Structures are given as structure tokens and as C-alpha cells.
């Protein structure tokens, strides 16, 4: 089902962030959402996720069972291990723990990293855990807010390789400042600042 945004408006105090924004995000495709800072990309994701109420307009096509989201910040419970952060949001299934282990290993998180709380992790490690959490969460709609920010080139490449198959067939909004991200996911492109 397409994610359809119609005439969306949102202002904070007197500052208008979205003024009649409309767009259809096609079902099963990744759309790279681009634009200068402050043009409303993160606000759009928050409105879709239901974390903010729009001042006007409609959003349709958000799945009933919830959506997966990677926030601009990592938002990981600091006392949990990487696997704990994922188990906290993933329903218990026979293969859950094996999938979590495989995902973390693929993202280069193994050995000591599996037993430490995420508060002891570097920023890049936490980013990868947050990415794994969003991508393993079984929702047809995925919102990713600058998912590769702060990763070095090699880690970014492995994170992209990890994400590509997991995004296949899902509707995803990928907020990014890097044009290479759109190419990596064969994504449609949307510029929100009209430039």
C-alpha cells in the first residue's frame, strides 16, 4: 500500500516547517528524502510515526501493526546489550535470537561487544545496533533518519550491504544528505526544499 501524504502542515510556534506538503511514497520502494537542514525531513518522519500531530492534512498507508524507525539519535536503552536492545522490540519467535546474532555479526559486532552494555559502545557501534533494530523489526514501512551518519567508509559499506536485502520489497523513507545513499538503494529521490 502506498504511503500517501496530502497537504500536510506543521508549525512550531510561528515557525512553519511543513506548509501543504503532499507526496505519494510508492509501496515497496525506497525513497531518499533529501534537502537542507531544517526543511522538515525529520518532522515528516515524526508525523508519519505518529509522534507529532499535524496542524492539517492527512497521512494514509501507515500499517496497523506499527512501523520501524531509526531515529536521528540512537535511542538505545543504555543498560542493555546490543542483543537486548533488539530483543526488547522484537517478538519472541523460534529463530529470533539466531537472527539477532547473525545481524550483529554481519554488522561487525561480535566477541566482547555482545556482552557489554551499549553505553560502553562507540557512536558508530550504537548506530549499527539502531540500524539492526529498525531493519529486523517486521513492518512493511521503515523510516530511516540519516542511518549511516558518523560511520567510516568501510563500516558504511558493510551497513549498506546489510540493509539492502532487508529493505527489498518494503516501503522506506531514507532521510539523507549523501547522494550516494540514494544510488546504493536504487531509491527514488525526493527533495523537500525544492532546490
Partner 1 sequence: MKKLSPGLRAALAAAFWLAVWQLLATAVGQPILLASPAATLARLWALVRTADFWRSLLFTLGHILSGFALAALAGMALAMLAGRFALVSELLSPLLAAMRSVPVASFVIAALIWVPSRRLSVLIAFVIVLPVVYAGTLDGIRQIDPRLREMARVFRMGRWNRLRAVDLPAALPSVASALSVSIGLAWKSGVAAEVIGIPGGSIGEKLYRAKVYLATPDLFAWTLAIVFASAACAKLLRAGLKKLAEIEKI
Query: Segment contacting partner 1 (CB under 8 A): 25-33, 84-92, 105-113, 180-188?
Result: 84-92
Q: Is residue 67 a contact point for partner 1 (CB under 8 A)?
A: yes
| Residue span 118-137 as binding mask against partner 1, x where in contact by CB under 8 A, dash where not | ---------------x---x
Nearest to 144 by CA among 50, 48, 41, 69: 69
Q: Minimal distance in Å, beta carbon 137 to partner 1?
A: 6
Answer for which of 3, 32, 68, 103 binds partner 1 (CB under 8 A) is: 68
Site for partner 1, residues 24 to 43, rule: CB under 8 A: none
Q: Minimal distance in Å, beta carbon 1 to partner 1?
A: 18
Compute the distance between CA of residue 101 and CA of residue 53 in angstroms, rounded to an integer: 37
Q: Are 87 and 97 in contact (CB under 8 A)?
A: yes
Q: Minimal distance in Å, beta carbon 193 to partner 1?
A: 25
Answer for which of 23, 87, 96, 99 binds partner 1 (CB under 8 A) is: 87
Q: Are 35 and 195 in contact (CB under 8 A)?
A: yes
Compute the distance between CA of residue 67 and CA of residue 95 in angstroms, rounded to an integer: 21
Q: Is residue 84 a contact point for partner 1 (CB under 8 A)?
A: yes
For the beta sheet containing 30-34, the strands, ordered from the edge strand earlier in sequence to the opposite edge, are 68-70, 141-145, 171-175, 30-34, 188-191
DSSP string, 40-91: SHHHHHHHHTTSS--SEEEEE---TT--EEE-SS----TTSBHHHHHHTTSP
Site for partner 1, residues 144 to 183, rule: CB under 8 A: none
Residue with smaller CB distance to partner 1, 133 or 184? 133
Provide the binding-site residues for partner 1, judged by CB under 8 A: 49-51, 65-69, 71, 73, 75, 77-80, 84, 87-89, 133, 137
Amino acid at each position: 500500500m502506498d504511503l500517501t501524504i496530502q497537504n500536510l502542515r506543521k508549525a512550531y510556534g510561528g515557525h512553519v516547517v511543513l506548509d501543504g506538503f503532499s507526496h505519494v511514497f510508492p509501496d515497496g520502494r525506497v525513497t531518499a528524502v533529501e534537502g537542507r537542514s531544517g526543511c522538515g525531513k525529520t518532522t515528516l518522519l515524526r508525523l508519519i510515526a505518529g509522534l507529532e500531530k499535524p496542524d492539517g492534512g492527512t497521512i494514509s498507508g501507515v500499517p496497523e501493526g506499527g512501523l520501524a524507525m531509526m531515529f536521528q539519535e540512537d535511542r538505545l536503552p543504555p543498560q542493555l546489550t546490543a542483543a537486548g536492545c533488539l530483543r526488547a522490540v522484537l517478538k519472541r519467535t523460534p529463530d529470533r535470537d539466531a537472527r539477532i546474532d547473525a545481524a550483529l555479526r554481519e554488522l561487525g559486532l561480535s566477541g566482547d561487544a555482545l556482552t557489554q552494555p551499549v553505553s560502553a559502545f562507540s557512536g558508530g557501534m550504537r548506530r549499527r545496533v539502531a540500524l539492526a533494530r529498525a531493519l529486523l523489526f517486521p513492518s512493511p514501512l521503515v523510516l530511516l533518519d540519516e542511518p549511516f551518519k558518523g560511520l567510516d567508509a568501510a563500516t558504511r559499506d558493510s551497513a549498506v550491504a546489510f540493509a539492502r536485502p532487508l529493505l527489498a520489497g518494503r516501503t522506506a523513507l531514507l532521510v539523507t544528505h549523501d547522494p550516494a545513499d540514494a544510488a546504493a538503494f536504487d531509491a527514488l529521490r525526493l527533495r523537500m526544499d525544492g532546490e
